[in-house]
Amino acid sequence: MAEKRIGEVMKYFAKPSVAAVKITDGEIDVGDTIKITGHTTDLTMALDSMEINNQKVPRALAGDYIGIKVADRVRPGDEVYKVTAS
């Protein structure tokens, strides 16, 4: 499995369990597998959906801020990677 850094967590909202992520490099599509890592974070999950400005989108590019539902707590500063089969 290959991992490519695509962004970082900017904010985490506990009640809806949503992370705000800034995409800094490359692109991400719904259906991709992502990995979020940090000091105490290690989460790998399929990206089921994402939103930009409360609108569901199929793809996000560098410079976009997206909201994604996460299965566990993540923290601002955690790095987001796109996982691909190499």
Question: Is residue 85's pLDDT more than 90?
Answer: no
- Integer angstrom CA distances of residue 16 from 13, 60, 68: 6, 21, 10
List the domain boundaries for the chain: 2-84
Report residue 33 as tokens. Answer: 């597998």
pLDDT tens-digit readout, 19-64:
999 999 999 999 999 999 999 999 999 999 999 999 999 999 999 9
Q: Please report the pLDDT score of residue 47 as a whole number.
A: 96
Domain at 2-84, CATH homologous superfamily: Translation factors (2.40.30.10)
